[in-house]
Amino acid sequence: MQLTHEENQFESKTFPITLVCDHIYFQQNIGSLFRISEAFGIEKIIFSGKDIPLNPRKINKTSRSTHLRVPHTVIEETDELIDYLLENQFEIIALEITHKSKPLKEIIIPDDKKIALLIGSEIDGISSNLLKISNQIVHITMFGKNSSMNVVQATSIALYELTS
């Protein structure tokens, strides 16, 4: 028989991971990112960009109220985001397919630094300025003809790898 939310036997834990969402605007994705971040014990979400649609009514459909439990902020300007990440000495890990990216399973997780996991817009991916400051660029190896997957699916896979 399936366990209820109250009966689950999972340990509650928070990881020193900040999810950085570079110009993600689809509300279904935003809600799902809250939900998966809460499930994986992510410390914080940063949304980068102007006019991020954080309408609670629409986001709640996919977030299932996790947007109320996951700390989050919006940083509108990319330069301000870069300053924040560098000043706080994050290990910046970009989830993107590039000529220099390596498979996700080869990720190096430092013991002594907070991690900023960068994920990119549904249309354009991660901006070049953010890729330039990344310590690691990783991709999810895929075996079909499609070269990308939904940002939430990819984030779920990456967070599982980072937290397990």
SS3 percent helix, strand, coil of the chain, rounded to 5, is: 35, 25, 45
Note the pLDDT tens digit of each residue in 138-156. 999 999 888 788 999 999 9
For residue 47, give the H/E element and its range.
Answer: strand 42-48
CB-count exposure of residue 103 (10 Å: 0-12, 13-18, 19+): exposed
What pLDDT shows up at residue 100? 93
Residue pair 38/66 in contact (Cβ under 8 Å)? The answer is yes
What pLDDT shows up at residue 5? 66
pLDDT band per the 50, 70, 90 thresholds, residue 157: very high
Beta bridge partners of 121: 125
pTM: 0.93
Q: 3-class SS at 102?
A: strand
Mean pLDDT of the residues in the chain: 92
What pLDDT shows up at residue 163? 94
Note the pLDDT tens digit of each residue in 52-110. 988 877 787 788 878 878 999 999 999 999 999 999 999 999 999 999 999 999 999 99
Instruction: Work out the average pLDDT over 109-117.
Output: 94
Question: Is 90 exceeded by the pLDDT of residue 1?
Answer: no
Domains (range + CATH), the chain: 15-163 (3.40.1280.10)
What pLDDT shows up at residue 66? 84
pLDDT band per the 50, 70, 90 thresholds, residue 8: low
CA distance from start to end of the chain: 26
Question: Is 70 exceeded by the pLDDT of residue 130?
Answer: yes
What pLDDT shows up at residue 4? 73
